[in-house]
Amino acid sequence: MRGSINAIVAAFAIVSAVPAMANVIVNGGFEQGTFTGGSSLAQQISPGDTTLSGWTVGGAPITWYENGFNNNLQQIALTAHSGNFAVNLVDGSSNTIMLSQTFPTLPFQEYLLSYWVGNYSANNGPAPITVRITDGTSNTILLSETSAPPTNEPSGTWVRFASIFITDGTSNTISFSENSALTYIGLDDVSITGVPEPSTWEMILLGFAGLGYVGYRRARAGRATLAA
């Protein structure tokens, strides 16, 4: 019995030893910063403004909004994908807006980029975003052009996009940009997490295999006892 318990503990120790894949993006959900939108529940952030923690705004202002915000011209109820806040990457004109962040990584490792794009039926078409990841010398590591399809739901919809890339060096920069006259392109829940190495998956499988073996031994011992 004690041997079985020790085996279970050892198996769980193997699984728990696998490091958690932490998000290297700061404020990926846009919940942090000095929000001064007041009763309008929306705030314009100009290029160079550091109000939105972790992010740099370039090109043209973005809209940082709180749940419940309505665009009075279009009567669009913008709801964040999660939490209370998200950003709108368009301003209803053809101005180019860019939102970027430099993040630390391990060199030459696989990472998973994940983010959610919001759209609204009044756009009458897809919501396009260009996503680019560059290294410290501005070489492009990942370039992705994504479009969230329109929706008939008045509260809008969110679509998740994901890509795997390999870093170059210890510092990389991600940028989201658009150039359209759409009413709304939402961005929320940006994350970049490390992809476990094959050896890590082997440790996980080994841990579960150990649990399965312990269960088999205990079941076999139980049958032997009944047979006796």
**In the chain, alpha helices (H):** 2-16, 198-227
Q: What angle do CA 78, 82, 84 make, to 5 degrees?
A: 65
The residue range of the domain holding 106 is 22-195
Based on the domain organization, do 143 and 221 belong to the same domain?
no
Average pLDDT over residues 48-74: 86
* Residue 16: strand pairing partners: none
Based on the domain organization, do 177 and 211 belong to the same domain?
no
E strands, the chain, in order: 42-45, 56-58, 62-66, 70-71, 76-77, 85-88, 96-104, 110-119, 127-134, 140-148, 157-166, 171-179, 186-194
**Does the pLDDT value for residue 219 go beyond 70?**
no
Based on the domain organization, do 13 and 120 belong to the same domain?
no
Average pLDDT over residues 97-121: 93
pLDDT-derived band at 121, boundaries 50, 70, 90 = confident
Average pLDDT over residues 73-95: 82
Q: Which amino acid, one-letter code, is at 134? A: T
**Does the pLDDT value for residue 7 go beyond 60?**
no
Q: The CATH number of the domain where 36 resides is what?
A: 2.60.120.260
Identify the pLDDT of residue 209: 53
Based on the domain organization, do 203 and 186 belong to the same domain?
no
pLDDT-derived band at 18, boundaries 50, 70, 90 = very low
Q: How many domains does one find in the chain?
A: 2
pLDDT in tens, 150-194: 876 665 689 999 999 999 888 999 999 998 888 889 999 999 999
